[in-house]
Structure formats: structure tokens, C-alpha cells
Chain A
Amino acid sequence: MLTRGPLRDPAALPRLSLSLLALFLLWPGLSLSELDLGVLLQGDNTATMGQFVAAFWPPEHGREFLELLGRATLETLAIATAGMSLALLIALPASLLASRALSLSALHRGGRPAWWGALLRWPVRIFLIVLRSVPEIVWALLFVRAVGLGPSAGVLAIAITYAGMLGKVYAEIFESVDPRPARALLGSGSPRLVAFLYGILPNAAAEMLSYTVYRWECAIRASVVMGFVGAGGLGQQIDLSMRMFAGGEVASMLLTFLLLVLLADQLSRLLRGRLA
């Protein structure tokens, strides 16, 4: 396999060492996270969990509660959608600035941008890293203090964190699609934004769309978590219901959740089908 000679696969050694390295890194990870599945089955842990889950049945479906649920669901959807729209406003320009795909200097350097081009991209990348490295729940806590309890804190928190994530992934998508159409356009004198729209966007659109809809789905989930700290929506209701030990209400809200995620999944499939 690793015999010396002209027929030796030059990729064999790096592949083997990378696999060994991955195994080597995985073991300390497992022991550091104190993962012990045995605890789940010990003594009365199972019984406690059982009681908690048993209280979920039957799901609450009183008329008054359903109205409340409907309003909270709409609020959650609104938080997620408004947050994503704001995030896109930041993420799209930032990803264009951060991506190497539109480098003019890379054109005549075999795809490697000049050093000053790489240097100029760094501040944008650091900006995106700062946006996404602070968890949205922390942003939410901050904004709840600034703008008070309610959905607008959730919207701002989602906008900031998700702008960081979307910007990074968009920039990487632009770099991973076939660079030749955009390079050919840049090479025939077109401006960079136009080369992006005609050369990269047609190839990247489906993947960008799929990731954006997935992030929207994540934003719905995140808005629930942020509800626990008072940022509105379904989360705030779940928090209230849990405090009142109303398991049936929690179950109804979890079912609503399932429906929302299902909806996002179908939407993504539908849109991808139109594009592909």
C-alpha cells in the first residue's frame, strides 16, 4: 500500500495520518465532556423522567388556549422572519466583502489573491466572527435590558448572531462553486458585483437558499429559547406553562413546533425544486 516507487499514491500518507489524528482527538473529547450514558438508567432517574413526560398527555386543546397558542406561534414566526431579514441585510454585503471568489488580483495569480487583498478581507471576517461567537441568548439578555421585555429583543438577537453565521457560510459557498464563469467575466472587463451576479449566483443560489431556509428553521427554535429570558413568542408561553406544571400545554406547543419545522422543510424542498 505504502510502497516506495513511482506508482505510490501521494495522497495515501496524508489520508492515513488524518484518520489517526481524528481518532486520537476524539477520545479526550469524550472523556472531557463527562458523557456517561449509564446515569440515565440508574435508580429513580428513569422514574423522574417518566413522571415529567407522563404529565404531557393529553395535549391541551381548549379553545382559549388554542387562541393563545395561535397568537404565540404567529409572534414566533414574526420574530424569526424579521430577525432573518435583518440578518440578510448585514450578511449579504459582508459575505461579498469576505469572499475570495471576487478577487481581481487572484485572476492573474492562479487563484491566490495578493497579500493586501487578503489583509483587507480580515477585518470583515473578524466582524462576522464577533457577531456569531456570542450566543444569541446572551444578545437577547442584553437587548431585554436595553429595549425591555418583548419580541424586539429576540429580533435583534437573531439578526446579529445569524448575520455572522449567514455571512460566513455565504462567503464559503461563493468560494466553493465553480470559479471559472466569474473569472471569465472579470477577465473580459466586467465589474466585480456584476461578475458575481452573472457568474457565481446562478451556481450558488440553490445552496444559499437551502441554507437560508434551514437557518430560518433554526431561528424559529432559537426564538423559543430566547422566549425563556423574556424575548416573547412561544418560548415565553412554554416557560410559563412549565412553571405551572401544565404538561399538556407544553405538549401542544411542542407539537406546534414539529409542524413549523415540517413546514420549513417542505418550503425548502419546494424552493429548491423551482431552482434546480
Chain B
Amino acid sequence: MILKLSGVGLTHANGQVALSDIGLAIAPGERVAIIGPSGAGKTSLLRLLATAQRPSAGRIEILGADPWALSAAARQRLRARIGLIHQTPPLPPRQRVVTAVLAGKLGQWSLPRSLLNLVHPLDTAGAAAALARLDLSEKLFEHCDRLSGGQLQRVGIARVLYQEPELILADEPVSAMDPVLAGHTLGVLSEETARRDITLLASLHAVDLALAHFPRILGVRAGRLVFDLPAAALGQPELDALYANEKLQPTAVPAAAPQPSHIPRC
């Protein structure tokens, strides 16, 4: 098992319960999608798996090790083998795309190599290849603040592709892309996992994308794992129960009022 969680819970410092009693086992080479309503705990779950957050209850095993039983140095080495794709990639606005992508391997490079790379990019071809797979190679020497939200997301994905981790965790990786690009990008991630026989976990808000690209689907609601099903076995009743919201009443569409020809300016 590449990922093993039993009885895992997460309570924030302010007492808010983000996750409770999560049990999960994922084998090497699996592609798993996490779906669920906003605020259900999808991001918290991914942050737990990326060792960016320590669980407040339960046991967690990632790539064959309990990250919280390791020394800080060993945990950093474990983190270098995990690639986390952020929904809004945290990139310094003045950094160039090539540097941002090459930063994926900073956990594996020696200090002199990292320092030299900051002054002069050492593997421009590698960064260009990762960007080319996401159709972004023409932005190689652009500054990050010149990119749109969807382009930034692709830079974040290119960084993780360049990192070549054994486990890819993706938090809403395609939320700022149009449907065609989103499909293509998830295709690239699936192809990467198949080619290098690694594991992919992605949270998605678009159910159709999850069903199209992932053989196994996890449903998360109110911090609990509601279902863990093969995509083929997932039916409409489960989805309706997952996304049901008692607080929101369906709003009646107001009858089209005659548009005033003159809009007053205030």
C-alpha cells in the first residue's frame, strides 16, 4: 500500500473539526478522485496526505513510512517524493516560469546546484519539456505575474511533472481551465501516472471529469468518507446524497423584467 489511513481525524486549533474517522488504503499505480461539496474537507485530506498537516487522531502511512514518527530531516526527504499541486499555485509574482518549474527538484538537488540554478537555469530543456506537455512552452521566460489563473495552474502542474514524485496529490488542479484544457491536463496527469507507474489523487469539483479520468472515486462530505466506489459503480442516488444541501432553497427564476433602455448612473 502506498497510502494507508486508519481512524484519521483532524481538528483545527480553533476546535473546528475538519475530518473525522477516515479509513483508506490506496495501492501503487491507482488513480483516485476525491469529490464532495465545498468545505467538505477535500483540501484538508490532501494536506494531510502531503504531510503539510499533522492528523490529530489516527494512524497515517505514506510511501511506507509514518511521516510523524520520522526525524525532521527524514520527513523532508519523504516530502521530496510527494508532489502536491495547489489550486492556486503559490509562485512569487516576479519569478520566471522556468525558475518556478525547475524549483520542483529543489528537494533533490544539492545546495550549490540550487544556488547556481537561481542565477542561471541549469535545465532549461527539462522545464521546456514539462511545459510543452501542457501546451505552455512559449511562456518559458515569462514572469509569473503575466500569466492567467489557468496558465498559473499549468505552471504548478509542470513543476510537479518536473519533480517526478512517486505520489501526485492534486487539489482542484484544473479549476481555472476551460473544459477542453481541463480534460487535456487531466489526460496528461493520467498518462504520467501510467508511464511511471506512480499514484495520483486529485480532488475535483466537476463530477463528469472525475468519472471520465479516474477509475476510483471517493466521496467526502462534512469531514467524513461517504463512499469509496469504482467509477462504474457510482450512480445518481449516491451523487445526489453527496451534494444534497438542505440550507439552499432552489431559487425561483424571476420573470424577465422589461429592460430599461436607459441605465441611470449613480
CB distance from A4 to the nearest CB of B (A): 22
Q: What separation, in Å, do the CA atoms of A71 and B90 have in the docked complex?
A: 51
7 additional contacts (CB under 8 A) given A187-B50, A191-B106: A104-B72, A108-B52, A108-B53, A185-B103, A190-B76, A198-B114, A203-B92
Report which B residues bind A (CB closer than 8 A): 12-13, 50-54, 72, 76-84, 86, 89-95, 99, 103-104, 106-109, 111, 114-115, 118, 163
- In the complex, the answer to whether B52 meets A107 with C-beta atoms within 8 Å is yes
Residues of A within 8 A of B108 (CB): 189
Q: Tell me the count of chain A residues lying within 8 A, CB to CB, of chain B.
A: 28
Q: What separation, in Å, do the CA atoms of A194 and B82 have in the docked complex?
A: 18
Residues 123-170 of A at the B interface (beta carbon under 8 Å): none
CB distance from B12 to the nearest CB of A (A): 7
The residue on B at minimum CB distance from A187 is B52
- In the complex, the answer to whether B50 meets A190 with C-beta atoms within 8 Å is no
Q: What separation, in Å, do the CA atoms of A109 and B114 have in the docked complex?
A: 27
- In the complex, the answer to whether B90 meets A178 with C-beta atoms within 8 Å is yes
Q: A187-B51, A188-B80 given as contacts; is B86 within 8 A of A194 (CB)?
A: no
Q: What separation, in Å, do the CA atoms of A184 and B160 have in the docked complex?
A: 12
Residues of A within 8 A of B13 (CB): 110
Q: Which of B54, B79, B99, B111 contacts A188 (CB 8 A)?
A: B79
Residues 171-188 of A at the B interface (beta carbon under 8 Å): 178, 180-181, 183-188
Count contacts between A and B, CB distance < 8 Å.
90
- In the complex, the answer to whether A197 meets B83 with C-beta atoms within 8 Å is no
- In the complex, the answer to whether B111 meets A202 with C-beta atoms within 8 Å is no
Q: Which of A104, A105, A110, A181 contacts B92 (CB 8 A)?
A: A181
- In the complex, the answer to whether A184 meets B94 with C-beta atoms within 8 Å is no
Residues of B within 8 A of A185 (CB): 103, 106
The answer to whether A68 has its CB under 8 Å from any CB of chain B is no
Report which A residues bind B (CB closer than 8 A): 104-105, 107-110, 178, 180-181, 183-191, 193-195, 197-199, 202-203, 205, 275
Residues of B within 8 A of A199 (CB): 90, 92
Task: State the majority secondary structure of interface residues on B.
Answer: loop
Q: A110-B13, A197-B118 given as contacts; is B78 within 8 A of A189 (CB)?
A: yes
The residue on B at minimum CB distance from A177 is B92
- In the complex, the answer to whether A184 meets B84 with C-beta atoms within 8 Å is yes
CB distance from B104 to the nearest CB of A (A): 7
Q: What separation, in Å, do the CA atoms of A109 and B126 have in the docked complex?
A: 34
CB distance from A104 to the nearest CB of B (A): 6
Q: A108-B54, A110-B13, A187-B51 given as contacts; is B106 within 8 A of A203 (CB)?
A: no
CB distance from B68 to the nearest CB of A (A): 9
Q: Which of A110, A178, A190, A205 contacts B106 (CB 8 A)?
A: A190
- In the complex, the answer to whether A203 meets B94 with C-beta atoms within 8 Å is yes
Q: What separation, in Å, do the CA atoms of A109 and B10 have in the docked complex?
A: 12
Residues of B within 8 A of A205 (CB): 94
Q: What separation, in Å, do the CA atoms of A195 and B107 have in the docked complex?
A: 9
Residues of A within 8 A of B95 (CB): 181, 198, 202
The residue on A at minimum CB distance from B100 is A198
CB distance from B116 to the nearest CB of A (A): 11
Q: What separation, in Å, do the CA atoms of A90 and B218 have in the docked complex?
A: 53
Q: What separation, in Å, do the CA atoms of A203 and B144 have in the docked complex?
A: 12
Q: What separation, in Å, do the CA atoms of A181 and B103 have in the docked complex?
A: 11
14 CB < 8 A contacts A-B: A181-B92, A187-B79, A189-B108, A190-B106, A191-B114, A193-B111, A197-B115, A197-B118, A198-B92, A198-B99, A198-B118, A199-B90, A199-B92, A205-B94
